[in-house]
Structure 1
Amino acid sequence: MWDRLPTSAVLSRRGLGIPAECGACGIDESVDHVLFRCTWARATWQWTGIPEVAWRERRFFLQMIRQWLASTGTHQEAIRATCTAHQIWLARNARTFSERRMSPMFVAESARALAMEPRLTIPSDIPLIARDTWGSFSAQAASRTVFFTWEPPPPSFLKVNFDGSVLDGGTRGGVGFVIRDPHSRVVAAGGCQLFDISVPGAVLRAAWAGLRHARQVLRASSIILEGYSATVIGWIRQGPSGESTDHPLIRDIGMMVRDGASFQATHVFREANGAADWVAAYAAHHSGYALWAGERELPLALREIMYFDFLGCIRTRVV
């Protein structure tokens, strides 16, 4: 079965017009080369942190898989190594047939996320989405691990994820937002650099900028505004009448969602807000205003983060 995989060398011998050489390093492509010997594959394995003895060649790989599966303590390592080999093969297919090129780090992280999924057998009373931590919670609740993922908005809604980044003690920073549709497609993403700003101030500015773009540029009337800062989410929910603040941006947000808009402000853990976090960090290091209108314009690193969200990769946190 191992040798039946359709490598470039096999497809070339069948007369399909595909070069026999590996598309990454130019050497004749065998299965062993794709999974273990190619410089791109080796870089992927190195990102995983799996011992080199396990992926040096096919014989050692199969031997280590059997050894790891024999013990419950190393069973998960066998799953992760197998997922890594599978993801390397899928990435090779995408590269060969000109679908997309993925970085070794991205493939290694995809394998890690897939390997985690069989472990997610948790009690039915624990949801797989992030609970809102703005409200109070029972002091009797013990620490536990929760599993969650970024979720696309419901039909007819746009979801605006937002975040702020502060550097050098607040002397400079950045804000970022990402707007996606119910199919997880990026409608717009943008941000700008700020100076002399606090963390809550940067996050609030990011929420305002993302909502403003959704309402005034995209003309959206059904919006979910989502961020990791429970404090800022609380301010937005309370509005300018809340006891915490009467900030002009809070008042402007209230005006934007008052006129016929279907609006929700929701909390998500930071780990599921990675796309907006990346944009905010990017903006903090670049002067001016950045705006990407659609997926094709996005930087590769940001596209990879969003691809994880699209796949529904599950994150974990102890709460």
Structure 2
Amino acid sequence: MENARCCLCHQETETVLHVLWSCGAAQDVWAGSLGRLQKSGTAQNDFLQLVTGLLMKLSDEEWNLFWITCWLIWHQRNTVIHGGVFQHPSRSAQRAVDYLKEYSIAQDSLHVPIPNHGPVQQTWQPPPETFFKLNFDDACFDEGVASGYGAVIRNEKGDVMAALAVRGGAVRDSEEVEVMACRKALEFAIDAGFTEIVLEGDNALVMKMITQAQPDLSRLGLIYEDIWCLAAGFRSISYNCIRRSANGVAHSLARFARLLDNEIVWLEEDPPPAVDALYLDSSFLN
């Protein structure tokens, strides 16, 4: 720049405040804008002071309009510097309003509503009276070379009726190890003599497959069929898909299985590997 004078009014130093607010060309644009923007003070020392003052006065819509108008004024100024013509101030003010409307419409069209599937169970909840809740989970070790299954059966008071930790073999993926853990948990509940249960797991895919009970031709189809056959042996059975935070005891037992050669069972006692998880569940219940 040859000098610091404003290239439009040639009267004052070309500061940010002057360019976007106090220059005659800018004031002509602001004059066609919303009343609250027109009537904002003109005694600011710098642009930051102006912005701070407006922030306390303007609504969200007015605030957005202010910045769009600033951008248009700056854009028009650059157009003039490079040989163009400054648009009529009223047109710039209207363009700012139109841009804000287009932005609002675009935001609405891009909005993706979050589906409401009902409340998500975050903590372990006791089963209805006369029922027992069977939670199961799995764990993979050494990149799938080995696996572990955990299962726990509790009554409406949260007392442990039976618990199981089993070390399994190699698995290919999370669905396989979860469905294996489910089958083992149902076998365990039947062997222990329980006939009315609520089955809970934290793998949405597996729980959906179990609940639908439809023919499955995948490599895991035979295991799902075993689960459906086992489920048919209960007097009453229902299913819940829960989050890991509501499945802490079974998860602790599955991780503990890494230390086992085969399996270990606890009957009517709290399994030591899951004491912390049981304490956490009881704290939510109380």
TM superposition score category, shorter chain reference:
0.5 to 0.7
Equivalent residue for 1:141? Answer: 114
- Aligned equivalent of 2:150: 176
Question: Which position in structure 2 is the counterpart of 1:203?
Answer: 178
Tell me the distance in 2 between the aligned counterparts of 1:294 and 1:161.
15
Residue among 118, 121, 128 paired with 1:154:
128
CA distance, structure 1, for counterparts of residue 214 and residue 226 of structure 2: 9
What does residue 102 of structure 2 align with? none
> Paired residue for 2:231?
257
Aligned counterpart for 2:252 among listed residues 278, 295, 303: 278
1:188/1:256 Cα in 2 relative to 1: closer, same or farther (>3 Å)? Answer: same
1:302–1:243 distance in 2 versus 1, CA, 3 Å: same
Asked whether 1:309 is paired with 2:284, we answer no
TM-score by length of 2: 0.55
- Counterparts of 1:239 and 1:246 in 2: how far apart (Å)? 13
How has the CA–CA distance of structure 1 residues 146 and 260 changed in structure 2, closer, same or farther, with 3 Å as cutoff? Answer: closer
Cα distance 1:200–1:147, how it changes in 2: closer, same or farther (>3 A)?
A: closer
Counting only pairs closer than 5 Å after superposition, residues 215-230 of structure 1 correspond to structure 2 as 215=190, 217-230=191-204
For residues 217-270 of structure 1, the C-alpha deviation after alignment (integer angstroms, 9 at most, x for no partner) is: 232221111011001101211225246666222112211222462111211101
> Quick check: 2:176–2:220 contact (8 Å CA) kept in 1?
no
Q: Secondary structure at the match of 2:226?
A: helix
What is the 5 A alignment of 1:59-138? none
Matches within 5 A, 1:222-241: 222-241=196-215
TM-score (norm 1): 0.49
**Runs of 5+ in structure 2 lacking a partner?**
1-110
Larger radius of gyration: 2
Find runs of 4+ consecutive structure 1 residues off by over 6 angstroms: none
1:264–1:139: structure 2 CA closer, same or farther, 3 Å change rule?
Answer: farther
Distance verdict in 2 for CA 1:185–1:172, change over 3 Å: same
Pairing 1:190–2:161 present: no
Residues 1:311 and 1:140: Cα distance change in structure 2 (over 3 Å): same
Task: Report what 2:77 is aligned to.
Answer: none
Q: How far apart, CA to CA, are the structure 2 residues paired with 1:192 and 1:167? A: 13
Please, which runs of 5 or more residues in structure 1 have no aligned partner? 1-137, 315-319
Deviation of the 1:139 alpha carbon: 4.4
Deviation at 1:191, TM superposition (A): 2.1
Where does residue 166 of structure 1 map in the other structure? 140
Change (3 A) 1:148 1:254: same
Q: Is the 8 A contact 2:135 2:151 kept in 1?
A: yes
Mapped contact 2:126–2:133 kept (Cα < 8 A): yes
Spell out, residue by residue over 1:9-33, the C-alpha distance to the aligned partner (whole angstroms, 9 max, x if none). xxxxxxxxxxxxxxxxxxxxxxxxx
> What one-letter code is carried by the residue in structure 2 that aligns with 1:278?
S
Give the counterpart letter for 2:113 in structure 1. Q
Between stretches 274-283 and 200-209, larger displacement belongs to: 200-209
- Find the partner of 1:212 among 182, 187, 212: 187
Change beyond 3 A, Cα 1:170–1:187: same
Residue 222 (structure 2) aligns with: 248
Count of matched residue positions in the alignment of Structure 1 and Structure 2: 173
Q: 1:283 to 1:243 in 2, by over 3 A?
A: same
Deviations 1:38-79 (A, max 9, x none): xxxxxxxxxxxxxxxxxxxxxxxxxxxxxxxxxxxxxxxxxx
Are 2:166 and 2:262, in contact at CA under 8 Å, matched by a contact in 1? Answer: yes
Q: Which amino acid aligns with 1:194?
A: G
Equivalent residue of 1:193, what SS?
strand
On the 8 A contact 1:226/1:266 being kept in 2, the answer is: yes
